Structure 1
Amino acid sequence: MSEVKVPELAESITEATITQWMKSEGDAVTQGEVLAELETDKVNMEIMAEQDGRLEKILRGPGETVQVGEVVAVLKEISEGKAASPEEKAPLSEEKAASTKNKDIVSPKGETLHSPGSETGGEEAFSFRAASPAARKLARERSIRLDSVKSHDPLGRISIDDIKASSEASQKAAPARPAGASNQQQATTPANPKPEVKPTSSDRPIEHIPMSRRRQTIANRLVQVQQNTAMLTTFNEVDMTAILDVRKRRQEKFVEQHGVKLGFMSFFTKAVIGALKAFPLLNAEIKGEEFLVKKFYDIGIAVAADEGLVVPVVREADRLSFAELEQEIANLAKKARDNKLSLSELQGGTFTITNGGIFGSLLSTPILNLPQVGILGMHKIQLRPVAIDKERMENRMMMYIALSYDHRIVDGKEAVSFLARVKELLEDPETLLLEG
């Protein structure tokens, strides 16, 4: 017998939550095969089988919190030099699959937990099609079997987009509920096992959705920022006409040469770095009674993912060209949406940029990303009348920008000057090229 333990996660992470078991008790496993999925504060991870064998017993079930190094299952080793029996290697027979499907797991706490193949635990566990942890999780949340999902990948791998497309197709195909249908009839549709609708004393339905570990972490950090910093926000506006003109003239050739679009984020990253060089305290952090002023520029780019906002970091952004910035940002954003970011890609940023404008936000107050002391908020580009001089008015493409900063280290004059410098660089994009 060998023990299946929670692997080392990261220096700052000591526990995780089991989201699902990919194998049931009695299943044969091979070395390197995924046994279970874990959710941590920042990323999802997997427990792999370290050797061939049979999953003898599952000790901790889905939804339970486990510590690094904790034993979560027992694996029965296949005797050395002894070939696996046909029963171990052959696919499950219909009779055995049915018995395994109805099998429950009893945790050490005495709770009865449904196996991954049970009716309430997600039948997709018996479909061994390749899918990312994020795709499996979304399928489980939407009660979708993986073997019913059409993959658009040449190798047959299932992505989040495939799950969403399957879900939308199912909703369109579902027959409309007849008028006057009772709640009893509606309840016959299979429901998501996690969210739970409970009637209140007034018989008004309320959906109870447990917070994910990542959402809990986000909530705790936001409260921590409000309690432990002297956060203020200052605002300005940028005339985006010049940048829009550059993008219009250069876009086709830029894509042809570099295989990626020339977006706004590379301009803003360059402008922020230029302003940080002029006002270095915005690129610092407070540690005890010291200011740690950083002489490097690792810029965090906030990305909205299904599980919540994440901030992957572009390392040494000051040394990257516009094309390299766009490629790195696009790569990190894709990883964030596919839930494939590593912990190293989320740690150690010196300043953050967040863009609420892509969702239509006209003005907002971004919240600091500790231990950083500055964050720049981008907003919606909007056509507005602007005074050119005393006699002329023109309609210009304008954007409000916001800088939230920690007043314990950054004074108002420095914050306002920083934002004015960002505005100046953005309105004259050639300066970004000339000054690096």
Structure 2
Amino acid sequence: MKGKNRYTILLLLICVSLYSSGQDLKIVDNVTDEDLLRIRTKAMERYGALYRLKASGPLAANAPQDTHILFDWPLRSSGDYDDVPNYYMIQNYVDDDNSDNVIEYNCGNRAYNLHNGTDIIPWPFWWHMMDRDYVYVVAAAPGIVIDVLDGYNNDQNCSCIGNNNVVTILHADSSVSIYYHIKDNSALVNENNIVWQGQPIATVGSSGCSISPHLHFEVRDKNDKLIDPWIGPNPASDCNNRNEDSWWINQKPYWEPQVNRVMTHSAQPSLQGYNSNNNFCPFGESVLAKNNFAPGETVFIGIAMHDYLNNTSVSYTVTFPNGTVVSGNNSNTSGNNNPRQYLVSSLQLPSNAPAGTYRVDATYQGIVSTHYFSVNCIANYSLTGTLSGSRGYIASNTIQSDATLPNGSKIKMQAANNIQLNPGFTAIAGTVFKARIKDCNYTE
């Protein structure tokens, strides 16, 4: 501990929750035979329109020559969630073994038997993220929308019940990409619309045969053959026997070690897999987010790990407004890479904790992820001079500033009523500056 003052602060690791990705979703959430038949029929009905668009229309530039279409990532976060480091994790890959064994493209078992798609989940607190529409489903490649169903009113499913909401896109090579389990009434496109790569088409849900919010992304070629868009890094570790190459523009690595989010809670949160909670349903999740505390209260600091690698560590610090710093550390010594893990520590604030904005920094694999919270949230800030480094300011009323933000600075301003940038305020190129009108206790 260092700084101007020394406090007796308990920084205690409360719980470490371990997960195995492929073991969570045991129900088969593949596109049903009924849906596949409908999709293939609609695709055939639109081949004429597809050929015309390829010849001289908006898809002409995207028509592959003697090859296949390439996909971009089929999800992105909304503008209301872009202050958070990451928003997803891969739950299951395609099972490339047609027997009772489970083998995905990288010769591992991050799948389940006979799974036909890639399952991507919002992480952490997937029900909370779904309710707030934090994750868009986007078109992975340009094409024609040929199938839209989003009115089944069953997107709170935590079991295999009812029909699936879906959007399907026909691409220039006559392949189709299928976006399954979307949220009720969230479709942003209609049949016969032309869509562009990256265009939002819906939001993530849990409709039909689904036990938690996620996107099941399934690809079929022009002959209705199942495609696994992933390919191993080399022939010795490539178990994809369905196709010869990757269908991604930039294929993501098999492991993506990173912090998805840092946040603060009023008590220990509840989420599936944490503290022996195996309830996938909405009532099994309790975020308990809190961002404004009083002196003497306990701050529960949560760090959502994505692909937490074996024998690696995440360190974290809490910086007080007066410069005092407390720190902690956690190491994964489980013997396994953990696809997702939620770490919670408790910080007992002293009775004389200074009012103002506090910064939590979590460092993993050399990347720092930051979260700000307040104690006795200050009403007004007047910021002048040079604001360098990483700084945050949370106010219950207003923030005014004529400061200079130099290259490399990361400045965040959050006020309940007003943020006023006065003459002289300057943000130099290379600055990351964010301002938003939210109250002191707001959190994504």
TM over 0.5, yes or no? no
Scaled by the length of structure 1, the TM-score of the pair is 0.24
- Please state which structure has a larger fraction of its residues in strand: 2
- Please state which structure has a larger fraction of its residues in helix: 1
Scaled by the length of structure 2, the TM-score of the pair is 0.23
